[in-house]
Amino acid sequence: MSTTVFVLLLSLMLAPNVLGHRSQTKRASSAGPYSISSSIAFAREEDGVLISDGWVQESPPSQTITAAYMKIENQTAADISLRSASADDAAQTIELHKMELVGSIMKMRRVETIDIPAGGTAELKPGGYHLMVIGLKKELKEGDKVTITLEFSGGLRKTITVPVKPRSAMVKEG
């Protein structure tokens, strides 16, 4: 774990109200969102899974589909898998997808799971694994927030609130 992430996590645990967070007392089955004003979203409980750097791409005008990205860090000694995601207030469904180069053509395909090895990280980013947010219920604009629930193997469930960023963030983030 990088020193920056460790310091940030330590400061979140020691001073939860400094950044406007509220204290969480529930366990992993009902993990609540932590949002930091700097647009970096975290969901962390004592289950050893850290979600960071989450964001949703601003939806193009008149389109009902977009993508979401984040980093999932598995700090446990067991492999886990992201099995599904949902954002009931923002979209009809979310699918797990992967972009990959096949020959000389970039193709996107739906995947059933995204595996995160013990002690490893899965980066959901432009050009790789990502969440396809389908059937938007409203146009998502920069500054909006989207609440996403992630379902992992073993019954682990995380709910995070992430910012909507402009399409130009794909170049900066990806």
- Both tokens of residue 141? 């604009």
The average confidence (pLDDT) of the chain is: 79
Q: Does residue 128 register a pLDDT over 80? A: yes
Residues facing residue 106 across a β-bridge: 101
pLDDT value for 47? 85
**Measured between alpha carbons, how far is 140 from 13 in angstroms, rounded to an integer?**
32
The CATH number of the domain covering residues in 3-173: 2.60.40.1890
Specify the pTM.
Answer: 0.72
Tell me the per-residue pLDDT of 5-63, one tens digit each, with 9 for 90 and over: 333 333 333 333 333 333 333 333 333 333 333 334 444 456 899 999 999 999 988 89
Q: In which band, very low, low, confident or very high, does the pLDDT at 113 lie, cut at 50, 70 and 90?
A: very high
Question: Going by C-beta distance under 8 Å and a sequence separation of 6 or more, which residues neighbour residue 150?
Answer: 43, 51, 72, 82, 84, 85, 157, 158, 159, 160
**Measured between alpha carbons, how far is 114 from 33 in angstroms, rounded to an integer?**
21
pLDDT value for 172? 52
Q: What is the mean pLDDT of residues 153-174?
A: 84
45-49, 90-94, 105-109: the lowest-pLDDT one:
45-49
* Between residues 102 and 37, the one the model is more confident about: 102
pLDDT value for 168? 78
